[in-house]
Amino acid sequence: MRKFLSITLAALLCLPMSAITVHTIGDSTMAEYDESTTDKRGWGMYLGSFFDPAFVSVNNRGKSGADTRGFYTGAAYWATVKTQMQAGDYLLIQFAHNDEGTVTYGMDNLEYAAYCAEHSLPAPGDARGTNPQTTYRDMLRAFIDEARALGVNPVLVGPICRAYFQGDNIRRNGQHDLGDKFSKIENGVLYENQSLPAGDSTMSYVKAMKVVAAEKQVPFIDLTEATRQLYLSYGETQCLSLLFCQGDKTHTNAMGGNLVARAAAQLLKNAGVLAQYITIPTDITANPTAIEIGETYCSVAQNKEFLLTGYGLDPTSGTVALTATANLQLSLDKETYAATASVQYNGGSMFQKVYVRANYSTGGEQLDTVYATSGEHRIAIPVHATAISLDGGAAVSATWTLDAKPSSLPLAAVCTGPIAGAMSLSLMVATDTKNDVTINGETGATVVRIHNANESGTKTNWPTEEIDENASRYVDFAITAPATMDVRITKISMYIGAYSTGYMKCHINTGFGDGFTDVHTIYEAAQTALPNKEMRAIEMTPTLTIPAGQTLHVRVLPWHEHTSGSGKYILLRDVVITGQAFASETTDVATAMHQTNAAEKMIRNGQLLITRDGMTCNVLGQVVSR
């Protein structure tokens, strides 16, 4: 077998902290996903493994459901990314999937909204959609100009194809050219189901991106064409079964996300963008190269995963032995966990998902390692976590029974302990109650029905052909911590279902403050729809700390996939958020790190660490110990 990627201790000690960050902005095909809630994997999750981590790190800010304008104007997105960028960084920009629109295709949504207002039509319930000739280009220009003003190097990335096969090719709209079906407004008249000849690229978002790249003299990497070729190399059946989530032709799974990231890294290298820091391995490698669990509660297991991949291996068949240190267990099937595992490969290629379960009995910084060994060669995958003890806290909870239509909003929670809670709606309305819904096998409980609505709260049709969340449409449950106490959330539970439909889907996201920052998806009903007239019990155990005086938002974001119409409802019942409150202990670690200068490097459990002024951090600047 070719040698595993390895770096000697002496070489590591000579490396500086990574000085360049690659920021990625885009949509759900790039975004981060919680491995315990879904098998979706955005390609941005894997890009960092192709860079030398001693010099380059990746800040993946892809956002599900985002189009260019929504990402630019959303307080938690572009404005936040700009605060994270520094001179010398790079910005990868990939949009188009949601710019194509869900109500009218290829139109600027604000133009369509104005048309609706002028003609006394219902306002569109979806704020997404740009025209490739106008708004889409303008938003790309804005990202480029504002990044350059900060000394950041922008790169335009062609959006990955949808797996819309047509014979031996990908359909036109799968390549983000809406020339076969689009809408337009001319002289005050709306024209729908318009088409253009095959050679006319007027409605191509990829062509529009290329035009902006040439105009602004920024690199363009054609990930659209690269993914078209990747999908065709597998053929339709294998492509959909191996690279994509079940029943989904837009969102990749782990294998697909990894291969797309590999293709993106190769294109960047070919274009001379950070080429000296990019390695496209043909050995067996781990992706990611290190696992960051972050904060976790003692005695609450956390599941993570990594990929063992290899291409063009020599010998063409072999075995890789996996071992883990004390706090970790391993699994290849996500069911049976043990301290060791064994992976076989054949045909010169390997693609194996490895699940890691971490469980800590004591609080504090935790450093463990997974080792992958074949013959004389070994790679180490460091695992870092901060375990938090829940001993000594004051129990808190907030409950919304939702067994009656709210008389007014926001709806206060029934709370125990020193917290406050309130429920509100955005682009949704609670219409009425029903008692023919099944909960825990019994029918008859009263449940509130919640429907899509416009800004005035009037019930309106669901948009057609939505395949992802609309960040503006949600049911929000907010928890505010007291001024002098931090609240550690230990469980979020509820019953959730649908009424009069078998196509209702949703995400449950968490975020902080009015800007809804630090967004994480903690539950997803996106590949299997919510059951009709039957409530599904869900229980989530995220590690979330609400700093003193701040507010956590838990948002249920529904969409009605494929079909439009009225009379389709999402159901929620018995929403409960519980946790423990502790006296606040706030420390501004980031500021302290930036104020330090002298650094000492070391290797611990296979991980490169940097010590500055009494704080030990990994190469991402995350504190490991004090």
Q: Which two tokens stand for residue 445?
A: 């409980």
User: pLDDT above 70 covers what percent of the chain?
Assistant: 91
Q: What is the pLDDT of residue 75?
A: 75
* C-beta pairs of 320-324 under 8 Å, 24+ apart in sequence: 320/284, 320/345, 320/350, 320/352, 320/372, 320/373, 320/374, 321/372, 321/373, 321/374, 322/354, 322/370, 322/371, 322/372, 322/373, 323/370, 323/371, 323/373, 324/356, 324/368, 324/369, 324/370, 324/371
Question: Could you give the CA distance from residue 61 to residue 69 in angstroms, rounded to a whole number?
Answer: 15
Higher pLDDT, 596 or 419: 419
Average pLDDT over residues 448-459: 94
- What values do phi and psi take at 206, rounded to 5? -70, -45
Q: What is the pLDDT of residue 8?
A: 32
pLDDT digits (tens, 9 = 90+) for 398-449: 999 999 999 999 999 999 999 999 999 999 999 999 999 999 999 998 999 9
pLDDT digits (tens, 9 = 90+) for 376-385: 778 999 999 9
- What values do phi and psi take at 205, rounded to 5? -70, -30
DSSP string, 103-171: SSTTS-HHHHHHHHHHTTPPPPS------TTTHHHHHHHHHHHHHHHTT-EEEEEPPPPP--EETTEE-
Higher pLDDT, 407 or 617: 407
- 617, pLDDT greater than 60: no
Q: Binning pLDDT at 50, 70 and 90, where does residue 11 land?
A: very low
Q: Across the chain, what does the average pLDDT equal?
A: 89
Average pLDDT over residues 533-559: 95
621 sits in the region (left: phi over 0; alpha: psi -120 to 50; else beta) called left
Question: Could you give the CA distance from residue 453 to residue 425 in angstroms, rounded to a whole number?
Answer: 10
For 313-322, 389-398, 495-504, which range has the lowest pLDDT when averaged over its residues? 313-322
Question: Could you give the CA distance from residue 372 to residue 289 in angstroms, rounded to a whole number?
Answer: 12
Q: What is the pLDDT of residue 616?
A: 53
**Cβ atoms of 60 and 30 closer than 8 Å:** yes
Higher pLDDT, 612 or 269: 269
Q: What is the pLDDT of residue 311?
A: 78
Question: Could you give the CA distance from residue 284 to residue 5 in angstroms, rounded to a whole number?
Answer: 8
Listed in sequence order, the DSSP H helices in 74-108 are 78-84
Longest dimension (CA), the chain: 74
Q: What is the pLDDT of residue 586?
A: 59
Average pLDDT over residues 466-480: 93
Count of C-beta atoms within a 10 Å radius of residue 500 = 14
pLDDT digits (tens, 9 = 90+) for 204-239: 999 999 999 999 999 999 999 999 999 999 999 999
For helices 236-243 and 254-270, give the axis angle rounded to 10 degrees: 100
Average pLDDT over residues 611-626: 46
Q: Which two tokens stand for residue 601?
A: 């490097």
pLDDT digits (tens, 9 = 90+) for 255-266: 999 999 999 999
Q: What is the pLDDT of residue 621?
A: 41
**Cβ atoms of 458 and 429 closer than 8 Å:** yes
Which H or E element spans position 223?
A: helix 223-234
10 Å CB burial of residue 254 (0-12, 13-18, 19+) is buried
Q: Which two tokens stand for residue 586?
A: 């706030």
Which structural domains are found in the chain, ordered by start?
Answer: 17-277 (3.40.50.1110), 285-388 (2.60.40.2310), 394-583 (2.60.120.260), 589-625 (no CATH)
Quick one: which of 4, 9, 21 has its CA closest to 620?
21
Q: Binning pLDDT at 50, 70 and 90, where does residue 623 land?
A: very low
The torsion defined by the Cα of 223, 226, 231 and 232, in degrees rounded to 10, comes to 150
pLDDT digits (tens, 9 = 90+) for 254-311: 999 999 999 999 999 999 999 999 999 878 889 888 999 999 999 888 999 999 998 7
pLDDT digits (tens, 9 = 90+) for 39-78: 999 999 999 999 998 999 999 999 999 999 999 998 789 9
Place of tokens 């960084």: 89
- 192, pLDDT greater than 90: yes
Question: Could you give the CA distance from residue 316 to residue 308 in angstroms, rounded to a whole number?
Answer: 15
**Cα-based angle 222, 225, 226 (whole degrees, multiple of 5):** 85
- Side-chain-facing half-sphere of 121: CA atoms under 13 Å: 11
**432 DSSP β-pair partners:** 449
Count of C-beta atoms within a 10 Å radius of residue 15 = 16
